[in-house]
């Protein structure tokens, strides 16, 4: 997809049941194909056990053979919901099926209704969840590299079976979602990319500087960490109309009004020029890979937003 000041633009698949129920989930495959036809650079899926949805890795496995170029990603996968060895095999399999187009953004969950209940459902302690996440990713990478054993604080295997090798040597890039000071440091030290959603571009710029400094301290080049952005997008005739629809969306998705959600997450709302201006501010802050969650409650509205965003950013380099 063309860039706004050098940014690749991708989109989220609307995998929540409320969004595709009227048409059936197989329409998501057509949505994936259309996203590639329009030139978007990536197609991401989110992850949860709260609220029925198509499971993200299953969705990416379905999208892989019907697309050829578009990057496939998770934003963010919650490893705590899955057994780590089996997940490494699944991710390697999706990477193979896609010809090496998989990007895995991961997260550790958040306090409140979107965090602890998921750990309880998975029978995994909430405490030390960030250390558990880092070790799980280290285990994946060890399996992808052909390790015969692994010994950590949370996972220990004296003997590992031969693992499915990813398409790419070393496996798919693993990004981290999160913007706490600890998350920024961990991103710079251990991860291949950063996928936050700060509501202020200035916060993005400041966080990216911390990530890059942490990478340098760890002996890594700052450019080793891909600077990405999760942003909610609604293109409408004006800002007021966009805010009304996005308010309904955030209430349905989070149980929160837009006025509260936009204190936490990034939003680009309004007429096309207003949305472009917001994205440009994040580009100036250093974001280079944008993944847009489209603000529409049903699949027809999602398709409409997909076309509008494509028209806004236009065809470009691939």
Cβ atoms 143, 163 nearer than 8 A: yes
- Structural domain contains residue 16: yes
3-state secondary structure of 140: helix
Q: Give me the pLDDT at residue 2, please.
A: 45
CATH number of residue 187's parent domain: 3.20.20.30
In this predicted structure, what is the pLDDT of residue 113? 62
What is the structure's pLDDT at 317?
A: 35
Domain that holds residue 171: 8-313
Q: CA 83 to CA 143: how far, in whole Å?
A: 13
Task: Kindly state whether residue 143 falls inside one of the protein's structural domains.
Answer: yes
Q: Is position 318 within any domain? A: no
Residue-wise pLDDT for 259-273, tens only, equals 999 999 999 999 999
Distances (CA, A) of 223 to 76, 287, 289: 21, 12, 13
User: Is there a contact between 234 and 248 (Cβ–Cβ < 8 Å)?
Assistant: no
Does residue 237 lie in a domain region? yes
- How far is residue 163's CA from residue 84's CA, in Å, rounded to a whole number? 12
How many residues comprise the chain? 318
pLDDT given for residue 120 in this prediction: 78
Task: Give bridge partners of residue 53 from the DSSP assignment.
Answer: 16
Total domains in the chain come to 1
Within a domain: 34: yes
165 belongs to a structural domain: yes
Do residues 6 and 283 lie in contact, with contact meaning Cβ atoms separated by under 8 Å? yes
CA–CA distances in Å: residue 309 to residues 58, 61, 153, 261, 314 = 26, 25, 45, 22, 8
Answer for the pair 133, 78: CB distance below 8 angstroms, yes or no: no
Q: Within 10 A of 115 (CB to CB), how many other CB atoms are there?
A: 17
For residue 294, give Cα distances in angstroms to 81, 289, 317: 25, 16, 22
- In 3D, which of 154, 197, 246 has the Cα closest to residue 46? 197
Question: Per the domain annotation, does 89 fall within a domain?
Answer: yes
In this prediction, the residues of the chain whose per-residue pLDDT falls under 70 are: 1-3, 110-115, 315-318
Kindly give the residue spans of alpha helices, DSSP state H, lying in the chain: 17-20, 27-37, 56-63, 84-97, 116-122, 129-144, 181-190, 201-217, 239-254, 258-261, 272-284, 299-313
Within a domain: residue 2? no
pLDDT score of 253? 87
**Which two tokens mark 206?**
């400041």
Task: Show Cβ contacts of residue 249 under 8 Å, excluding neighbours closer than 6 positions.
Answer: 232, 234, 295, 296, 297
């Amino acid at each position: 997809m063309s860039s706004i000041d050098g940014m690749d633009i991708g989109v989220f698949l609307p995998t929540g049941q409320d969004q595709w129920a009227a048409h059936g989930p197989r329409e998501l495959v057509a949505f994936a194909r259309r996203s590639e036809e329009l030139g978007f650079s990536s197609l991401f899926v989110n992850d949860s056990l709260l609220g029925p949805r198509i499971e993200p890795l299953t969705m990416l496995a379905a999208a892989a053979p019907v697309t050829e170029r578009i990057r496939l990603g998770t934003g963010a996968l919650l490893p705590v919901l899955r057994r780590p060895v089996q997940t490494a095999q699944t991710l390697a399999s999706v990477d193979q099926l896609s010809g090496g187009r998989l990007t895995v953004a991961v997260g550790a969950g958040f306090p409140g209704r979107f965090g602890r209940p998921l750990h309880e459902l998975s029978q995994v302690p909430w405490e030390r969840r960030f250390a558990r996440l880092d070790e799980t990713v280290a285990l994946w990478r060890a399996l992808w590299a052909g390790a015969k054993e692994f010994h950590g604080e949370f996972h220990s295997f004296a003997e590992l079976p031969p693992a499915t090798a990813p398409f790419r040597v070393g496996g798919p890039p693993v990004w981290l979602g999160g913007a706490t000071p600890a998350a920024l440091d961990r991103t710079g030290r251990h991860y291949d990319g950063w996928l936050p959603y700060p509501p202020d571009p200035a916060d993005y710029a400041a966080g990216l500087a911390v990530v890059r400094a942490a990478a340098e301290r760890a002996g890594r080049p700052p450019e080793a960490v891909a600077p990405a952005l999760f942003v909610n997008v609604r293109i409408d005739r004006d800002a007021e109309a966009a805010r009304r629809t996005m308010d309904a969306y955030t209430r349905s998705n989070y149980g929160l009004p837009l006025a509260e959600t936009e204190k936490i997450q990034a939003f680009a709302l309004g007429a096309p020029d207003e949305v472009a201006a917001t994205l440009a501010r994040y580009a100036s802050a250093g974001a280079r890979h944008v993944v847009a969650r489209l603000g529409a409650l049903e699949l027809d509205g999602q398709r409409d937003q997909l076309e509008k965003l494509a028209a806004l950013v236009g065809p470009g380099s691939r």
